[in-house]
């Protein structure tokens, strides 16, 4: 018993000493404030995560995260970003490395998030705001919505109509595309609420859209430019920006992210094309020889 007690206290003393050492190293005086390096790593990771899931290029994410980590003034501030995951680590000669990793599942385009994260990281690097405040603001950013969903949906319909005009269609084609875009909205709502697989939803929605376009082309007295209508109405789903980002990542030398994004873009396009091919086949079978 005595022996055990002795052992425990000994361990505790060692433990407390260890804690004190780490405490001394982790928290240092910095512009009259206490910097928590763990929080700094968390903040940088969160910033990178938000940027990556908002559709920023990989090299931009790496640059921003590294700038934020350099606030710690450690010897080694490293980050490794691919389009599906992100790793951060900082190390100094007198401190164990602090590192974290995170995988990113949802990817969409959200320019406001890129803008605000960029702004915050710039302010942090100029010591205008503290690490705690940056972390708080980043977490607020995750829950913020700039536009009302109804406005976004209305804009989806308008953009489908406008893109149909850009593809060289006339006014009636444009109206049909606007009607089709309602199904794009439905697919977005389903994706947000039910969390169904992206591929399946896209396929189903495109199938319905293609059938409807066939119906319209039979019903309406004038002839429809079917290809332009379909291409215009799926415009909000198409991976154009992903493809351009993929090319930029590849040309800048980041081949892993580049190929991943190429494949992502092609899978999305394939899901749309499968749905549309199926829909057109059904429409052809029902109404006979439109195409």
Residue in the block written with tokens 């495109």: 206
What the block records as the tokens of 224 is 């429809």
Does 155 engage in binding with other proteins (CB under 8 A)? Answer: yes
- Tell me the C-alpha distance between 2 and 6, whole Å: 6
- For other proteins, the binding residue among 111, 125, 129, 189 (CB under 8 A) is 111
Query: 8 vs 270, which CB is nearer to other proteins?
Result: 270
- For other proteins, the binding residue among 27, 248, 259, 284 (CB under 8 A) is 248
Least Cβ distance, residue 72 to other proteins (angstroms): 23
DSSP class per residue in 180-216: HHHHHHHHHHHHHHH---HHHHHHHHHHHHHHHHHHH
Query: 79 vs 121, which CB is nearer to other proteins?
Result: 121
- For other proteins, the binding residue among 205, 225, 269, 279 (CB under 8 A) is 269
Residue 78, strand partner residues? 89
**Per-residue b or e along 151-176, where b marks 16 or more CB atoms closer than 10 Å to that residue's CB:** eebeebbebbbebbeebebeebbbeb
Between the alpha carbon of residue 228 and those of residues 2, 51, 57, 165, 254, the distances in Å are 87, 33, 30, 9, 35
Query: 43 vs 236, which CB is nearer to other proteins?
Result: 236
Query: 72 vs 187, which CB is nearer to other proteins?
Result: 187
Q: Interacting stretch for other proteins, rule CB under 8 A, among 11-19, 106-114, 134-142, 213-221?
A: 106-114
Does 37 engage in binding with other proteins (CB under 8 A)? Answer: no
What the block records as the tokens of 158 is 């308008």
Does 234 engage in binding with other proteins (CB under 8 A)? Answer: yes
- Tell me the C-alpha distance between 276 and 61, whole Å: 35
Query: 25 vs 149, which CB is nearer to other proteins?
Result: 149
Q: Interacting stretch for other proteins, rule CB under 8 A, among 65-73, 90-98, 103-111, 214-222?
A: 103-111
CB 79 within 8 A of CB 62: yes
Q: Give the number of other Cβ atoms within 10 Å of residue 224's Cβ.
A: 22
By CB under 8 A, the count of residues binding other proteins is: 49
> What residues from 112 to 151 belong to the interface with other proteins (CB under 8 A)?
112-115, 118, 146-147, 151
* Residues near other proteins, by CB under 8 A: 56-57, 60, 109-115, 118, 146-147, 151-152, 155-156, 158-159, 161-163, 165-167, 231, 234-236, 238-241, 243-244, 246-248, 251, 265-266, 268-270, 272-274, 276-277
């Amino acid at each position: 018993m005595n022996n055990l007690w002795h052992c425990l206290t000994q361990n505790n003393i060692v433990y407390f000493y260890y804690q004190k050492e780490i405490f001394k190293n982790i928290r240092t005086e910095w512009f009259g404030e206490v910097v928590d390096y763990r929080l700094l790593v968390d903040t940088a990771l969160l910033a990178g995560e938000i940027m990556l899931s908002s559709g920023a290029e990989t090299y931009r994410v790496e640059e921003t995260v590294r700038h934020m980590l350099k606030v710690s003034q450690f010897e080694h501030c490293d980050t490794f970003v691919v389009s599906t995951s992100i790793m951060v680590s900082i190390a100094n000669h007198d401190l164990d490395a602090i590192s974290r990793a995170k995988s990113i599942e949802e990817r969409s385009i959200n320019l406001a998030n890129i803008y605000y994260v960029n702004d915050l990281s710039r302010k942090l690097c100029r010591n205008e705001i503290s690490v705690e405040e940056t972390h708080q603001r980043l977490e607020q950013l995750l829950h913020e919505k700039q536009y009302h969903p109804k406005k976004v949906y209305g804009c989806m319909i308008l953009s489908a109509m406008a893109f149909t005009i850009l593809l060289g269609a006339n006014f009636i084609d444009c109206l049909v595309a606007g009607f089709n875009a309602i199904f794009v909205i439905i697919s977005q709502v389903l994706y947000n609420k039910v969390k169904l697989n992206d591929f399946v939803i896209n396929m189903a929605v495109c199938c319905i859209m293609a059938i409807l376009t066939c119906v319209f082309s039979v019903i309406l007295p004038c002839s429809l430019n079917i290809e332009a209508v379909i291409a215009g109405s799926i415009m909000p789903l198409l991976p154009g920006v992903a493809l351009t980002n993929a090319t930029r990542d590849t040309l800048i030398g980041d081949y892993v992210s580049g190929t991943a994004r190429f494949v992502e873009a092609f899978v999305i396009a394939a899901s749309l094309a499968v749905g549309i091919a199926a829909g057109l086949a059904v429409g052809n079978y029902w109404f006979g020889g439109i195409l």
